[in-house]
Chains A and B, each alone.
Chain A
């Protein structure tokens, strides 16, 4: 399958830890990237497919993977972390062609 499945919505209390998951066959073959998107803005890379945080991304963001599930963890979520999160992986040709459906994160 070339699909990535994410929970549509997740909420977390301010300062607590939240995990956003991404399931699919491609997770077993390729590392995934994670993007954050806020209303009216282009997506922003928060975790690369080598589990590196791009410059400027807080260290409360981390990523892991096991089997067919990739996880983005935010440890000590802040109000500014609210937004939509998308995982992205590669297709059989190696192109970054597969996006998850997105998870809307609410920080309470």
Chain B
């Protein structure tokens, strides 16, 4: 079974950038896309984008286009999500997940809280 372990909580000032990581184990990293999902406190789930670790292909939700960069490092089996020009409304838990395949490979990280505050 796949495991996704994310980096720890971050506190950033408005206008800064944050880069959070998602290290996978238990399966071949290049077999499944890594998706990122945002959850603002008390709100629902929102898809941010994904990366295909095999070829680096990415796609982003329109809401985050231009501010988000998702990458994959096959040498360390780690995916990254960088969000720039942070604002208070980016305060949220961000999950990485392999949700594009079957029920057998639907795995989630534990989530990373990003707090944007002056």
A residues with CB within 8 A of B: 33, 35, 37, 42-45, 48, 50, 52-54, 84, 86, 88, 93, 95-102
B residues with CB within 8 A of A: 35, 37, 44-47, 50, 59, 61, 95, 97, 99-100, 102-104, 106, 108-111
Within 8 Å CB of A95, what residues of B? 35, 47, 50, 59, 100
Q: Which residue of A lies closest to B108 (CB)?
A: A42
Name the contact of B103 in the complex, choosing from A45, A88, A97, A98 (C-beta under 8 A). Answer: A45
Q: Complex formed: what's the CA distance from A86 to B38 in Å?
A: 13
- Whether the pair B59, A45 counts as a contact (CB closer than 8 A) is no
Q: Complex formed: what's the CA distance from A71 to B97 in Å?
A: 24
Name the contact of B110 in the complex, choosing from A42, A48, A50, A102 (C-beta under 8 A). Answer: A42
Give the Cβ gap from B118 to chain A, nearest Cβ, in Å.
Answer: 26
Name the contact of A96 in the complex, choosing from B35, B104, B108, B111 (C-beta under 8 A). Answer: B35
Name the contact of A93 in the complex, choosing from B37, B59, B110, B111 (C-beta under 8 A). Answer: B59
In the complex, 13 of the A-B residue pairs with CB atoms within 8 angstroms, ordered by the A residue number, are A42-B110, A43-B45, A44-B108, A48-B103, A48-B106, A50-B103, A54-B106, A84-B44, A95-B47, A95-B100, A96-B100, A100-B44, A102-B45
